[in-house]
Amino acid sequence: MTTYKGINGFAVQSVATDPSPSDEGQVWYNNASYAFKLAAVTTSGTWASGGTLNTARYAGGSSGTQTAALYFSGYTGSADSTASESYNGSSWTTTPSVNTARRATWGFGTQSAAILTGGYRDAIGGASDAVESYNGSSWTSVNSLNTARFNLTSAGIQTSGIAFGGTTTTPVSSSESWNGTSWTNTPSLNATKTQAAGAGASNTSAFVFGGSPDGTASSATTESWNGSAWTSSTSMNTARYRLAGTGIQTAALGFAGLSGPTGGTYSAATESWNGTSWTTQGNLATAVQQSRGAGTTSAGLNISGDNGTSVLATTEEYTGPGAPVTKTITTS
C-alpha cells in the first residue's frame, strides 16, 4: 500500500509548533493543537489591515512599494491638503509637505524619488498644471504639464514618466511624456478617459484601466502604451471609475472605485492583470472610491479613500496568489 513515507521519503512529524518555512505539500501533526496540518499556497490574493495615515484624506498622489511608499496631497473632506507621508510597511511618518495644496492628482516613482502631477486647486477653482518632484527630503516645483488637468492618471519613474486623460473643464484623452526635465505632447488615448487608474515603468511602457468617458459613467476598457501609440486591450471584469491601481504594463492590480453613475455602488473588487487578461482576486475589507495604490501584483497597498460616509486614514496590504499558508486537515 502506498504511504506518505513511501511517497515523500519521511514520516509525518509530530511537533509542538508549526514549522516555518515549510514546503508546499508538507504534512505534520501539531501535538499542541491536536491537529494534522498541511503547507499550501493561496489561490487568490487577499487584503489585510495596515498602518493608519496621520492625516485622513483621499484623491492624493502615491508612489513606491508596499514596504516603502509615499502618499501626498489629497482632500481632507473640507480642504485641499499639502500633507505628505511615508510608509515603512507598518506605520506612516509625516514628511515635508508639498508646495501646492491640491486634490484629484496622481503620482509615480519611488518613496524617495517621486513626481506629483496636476490636480484640482480650490485656490484657483479649477485644474492645475503644477508638477513637483521629491528627493526624499523636500518637494521642488519643476516644469509644468502642457495641459492643466485633474483626475488624471500618470505612471513611470522620476526621470521617465507619462501623464494621460483627466479633466480640464471637460474630460480629455490627451497624453504627455516626461523625460525628467520637461513634458512633450504624445499621441492621445483612443478614448476620452477621466478618473482612471494606471500602471507603468517608464514613458514608453504604461497601462490605463477603468475610468469614465464623461465623469459619470463607469468604464471597463483598458489601453496599453508602447512609447508611440495607445492600443486597446482586454477589458476589466468590473466596470468602474475613481479606482486605484499599481504595477507595470504586464503585471497590474486594479481595485476599489465606483461602479455605475455618480453616487453609484462603492466597490471593494480587486483584479490582477497578467498582460493578457484580468483575474478576480479577493475583495478589499472596505469598499472605497478615490483611494490610491502602491506596490506590485504580489505585494500591493490601498491607501485611504472615501467610503461614502467618512474620509479614511486606513491602509490595506495586498498579498497575491501563491503566498504560503498553513491549513488544518479536517474530515470535511
DSSP string, 206-273: EEEE--BSSSSS-B--EEEE-SS-EEEEPPPSS-BBS-EEEEETTEEEEE--EESSTT-EE---EEEE
What contacts 224, CB < 8 A, 6 or more positions away?
206, 207, 230, 231, 233, 249
Looking up cell 486605484 gives 244
Residue 304 has pLDDT above 70, yes or no: yes
What integer pLDDT is reported at residue 4 of this predicted model?
46
- Examine the domain organization and report whether 11 and 114 are in the same domain: no
CATH number for the domain including 58? Answer: 2.120.10.80
Length of the chain: 332
- Examine the domain organization and report whether 23 and 109 are in the same domain: no
| Cα–Cα dist 12/5, whole Å | 7
- Examine the domain organization and report whether 152 and 37 are in the same domain: no
Average pLDDT, integer, range 311-321: 97
Quick one: DSSP state of residue 289? B
Q: Sorting pLDDT into bands at 50, 70 and 90, what band is 48?
A: very high
- Examine the domain organization and report whether 23 and 104 are in the same domain: no
Show the 3-state SS of 69-110.
EEEECCECCCCEECCEEEECCCCEEEECCCCCCEECCEEEEC
326: in domain: no
- Examine the domain organization and report whether 212 and 314 are in the same domain: yes
Kindly state the cell numbers that stand for 18.
Answer: 508549526
- Examine the domain organization and report whether 100 and 157 are in the same domain: yes
Residue 103 has pLDDT above 70, yes or no: yes
| Cα–Cα dist 44/255, whole Å | 14
Q: Sorting pLDDT into bands at 50, 70 and 90, what band is 220?
A: very high
- Examine the domain organization and report whether 20 and 150 are in the same domain: no
| Position with higher pLDDT, 13 vs 205 | 205
**Number of domains present in the structure of the chain:** 2
Residue 2 has pLDDT above 60, yes or no: no
- Examine the domain organization and report whether 15 and 157 are in the same domain: no
- Examine the domain organization and report whether 221 and 273 are in the same domain: yes
| Cα–Cα dist 325/298, whole Å | 15
Average pLDDT, integer, range 106-110: 98
Residue range of the domain that includes 27: 4-41
The pTM is what?
0.88
Q: Give the DSSP H/E element, type plus range, for residue 295.
A: strand 292-295
327: in domain: no
- Examine the domain organization and report whether 92 and 29 are in the same domain: no
- Examine the domain organization and report whether 17 and 158 are in the same domain: no
Lowest mean pLDDT among 33-47, 122-136, 146-160, 173-187: 33-47
What integer pLDDT is reported at residue 190 of this predicted model?
98
17: in domain: yes
- Examine the domain organization and report whether 27 and 61 are in the same domain: no
pLDDT tens sequence across 142-201:
999 999 999 999 999 999 999 999 999 999 999 999 999 999 999 999 999 999 999 999
29: in domain: yes
> Within a 13 Å sphere around the CA of 208, how many CA atoms are in the beta-carbon half?
37
Residue 327 has pLDDT above 70, yes or no: yes
- 130 CB burial (10 A radius; 0-12, 13-18, 19+): buried
70: in domain: yes
| Position with higher pLDDT, 331 vs 259 | 259
Amino acid in the structure at residue 243 = L
